[in-house]
Every structure is written in C-alpha cells, then in structure tokens.
Structure 1
Amino acid sequence: MNDTADLYAVDLSSSQWRKSSYTASNGNCVEVTDIPGSQGIAIRDSKNVDIPAARASRQAWDMFIDAVDHEILS
C-alpha cells in the first residue's frame, strides 16, 4: 500500500471528532480527527457525517491551515 491508501484503510467509527473553533451559529462547520496509527487527519462536514471523510497527511493539513491563516491575516 501507499501512504494515501493507508490513511483510507483506518476505521474512524470510534474517533473523537472536534469542531472548528470558527463554527458558525447555524451549525455549518468542519470537524477533524487524528487518524489512529498514522500521521494523518480526517476532515468531514458536520451536517453530513455519513459522507466519507476526506483524509490528508498531517503535513498537507498543516500547509492548508498555514495558507488559510496567511490569507485571513493579509
């Protein structure tokens, strides 16, 4: 397997999801959880938790967050 396939092989049914600190009052938000046994993170829409979560490496997620922070602060 490759690293991406490994991230999708992990069962997230018992994961502890956390909501974004920027959650809107209408409930539209993103939830994230660490992928057990990996250096990955899973991301899902809190309104549609039955849709499979997107998964990314921790490095890719950190780069995304840095880019968003940079854009917000610009």
Structure 2
Amino acid sequence: MDLSSVVWRKSSRSTNGGDCVEVAVVPGDPALAGHKADADELYLVRDSKDPDGPALAFTQREWEAFVGGVKDGEFG
C-alpha cells in the first residue's frame, strides 16, 4: 500500500512538533482496506513517530463514532 502521496494532518494541539497521531481522508480503495471495500472514503490514522509504519483505516461512520467517543470522554 503506497501512501506516499497522501496528505496527512496533525492536531493543532500537538506541542513543539510533538509526537501524536496523524489523520488523512482518502477515497475508498480495497488495496488500503479490503474488508472496507464498499466505503466511499476512508479515514487513515498513523503514528507520527513512524510515518512509514502501518495506518489504521476507518469508514466515515467508524470515524464519527470514534470522534464522538473522544468528545464524550470515553477514552479517559
């Protein structure tokens, strides 16, 4: 999976270029996440300390549920 042309975003709350996760939104592609082949777009998340490492793929519905959980304090 080639993610070299993907535009990644880091949180504006990341201090001093600190380590955090980065997010990118890309068109759905079975090569990125075959089990989510029917998704129109995917939300990718990676560790900024390991930009060549793995990326997790979420559908829009999964991403919205995750963000909602963060806002509700579900992850402490």
TM over 0.5: yes
Following the alignment from structure 2 to structure 1, what is the Cα–Cα distance between the partners of residues 67 and 12? 13
The equivalent residue for 1:63 is 65
Report the TM-score when normalising by structure 2. 0.69
Paired position in structure 2 for 1:31: 22
The secondary structure found in structure 1 opposite 2:72 is: helix
Q: CA RMSD in A?
A: 2.0
Query: Is 2:13 the partner of 1:16?
Result: no
Aligned residue type for 1:22: R
Which is richer in helix?
Answer: 1
Q: Which ranges in structure 1 are unaligned for 5 or more consecutive residues?
A: 1-9
TM-score for the superposition, normalised by structure 1: 0.71
Q: Distance in 1 between matches of 2:59 and 2:25?
A: 10
Q: Does structure 2 conserve the Cα–Cα contact (< 8 Å) formed by 1:12 and 1:35?
A: no
Q: Which residue of 2 aligns with 1:42?
A: 44
Number of matched pairs: 63
**Contact 1:41–1:58 (Cα < 8 Å) also in 2:** yes
